[in-house]
Amino acid sequence: MIFNQLFDTQSSTYTYIVASGKGREALIIDPVINNTDEYLKVLKKLNLKLVKVIDTHIHADHISGLNELSKKTNCARIMGEKSKSEVVDVRLKENEKMRIENIELKTIYTPGHTDCSYSFLRNNVVFTGDTLLINGSGRTDFQGGSATAQYDSIFNKLLKLPEKTIVYPAHDYNGKKSSTIGKEKKNNPRLQVKSAQEYKKIMDNLKLSNPKMMDIAVPANKKGLTLDQMNS
């Protein structure tokens, strides 16, 4: 399997390029629009054809490259069925499997950070979006977020995966690239709770300021617009 993890310094976003290598078909998970040309260069260097692009949810801290990549490569735009995006070609249901060549990703509905958050599982690897982070979890105070829903997503879905499952999140703010389910069970301070109410109390007391891009990024990502189009 061909695997590339790319990092956007402005939004601390991880983007993933995945391909089997067999027929040179590739997919991208959680692209950032400002890095579109970089993704295309990597694809060209590796002699890959982009056929699918996925957003794990509607992002509030950056404009997604979902629509821009589709315009430039004619790839299919994919999100979960709960997404409010108007520029999605394929909407995946819970447990639905998505394939490119011999790579298969299983869709896991993991609401909480937003009401349209999804994770994607391939064998011993899970892409968790903003639901489960390394030593943390995604905020739950906007976009239909719910701390109790996120508790259920994490404890009753993601943490039920084998402990050796590798966790690749959509963000990290401390230079860490991956973790495992076992490490998060043991070390993640937000997961050392005994109930959904205890978890909700932690999340409700975070008192975070809104992402700087939120008022632009959310409507832009729903409509598939660029920053220039939003400002025009």
For the cut 70, the answer to whether the pLDDT of residue 115 exceeds it is yes
pLDDT tier at 211 (50, 70, 90 boundaries)? confident
Cβ atoms of residues 176 and 151 within 8 Å: no
Q: Which amino acid is at 217?
A: A
- Residue 160 CB neighbours (<10 A): 10
- Residues 205-222 have a mean pLDDT of 91
- Residues 168-197 have a mean pLDDT of 97
Q: What is the pLDDT of residue 152?
A: 98
pLDDT tens-digit series, residues 120-177:
999 999 999 999 999 999 999 988 899 999 999 999 999 999 999 999 999 999 999 9
pLDDT tens-digit series, residues 22-81:
899 999 999 999 999 999 999 999 999 999 999 999 999 999 999 999 999 999 999 999
Q: Residue 181: exposed, middle, or buried by beta-carbon count in 10 A (0-12, 13-18, 19+)?
A: buried
132's tokens: 């489960």
For the cut 70, the answer to whether the pLDDT of residue 232 exceeds it is no
How far, rounded to the nearest angstrom, does the alpha carbon of residue 182 sit from its chain's CA centroid?
20
Domains of the chain: 2-209 (3.60.15.10)
Cβ atoms of residues 125 and 161 within 8 Å: no
- The neighbouring-strand residues paired with 81 are none
156's tokens: 């009753």
Enter the pTM of the model.
0.96
- Which are the contacts of 192, defined by CB distance < 8 A and separation ≥ 6? none
Q: Which of the listed ranges 113-122, 139-148, 222-231 does the model predict with the highest average pLDDT?
A: 113-122
Q: What is the pLDDT of residue 1?
A: 86
pLDDT tens-digit series, residues 135-145:
999 999 988 89
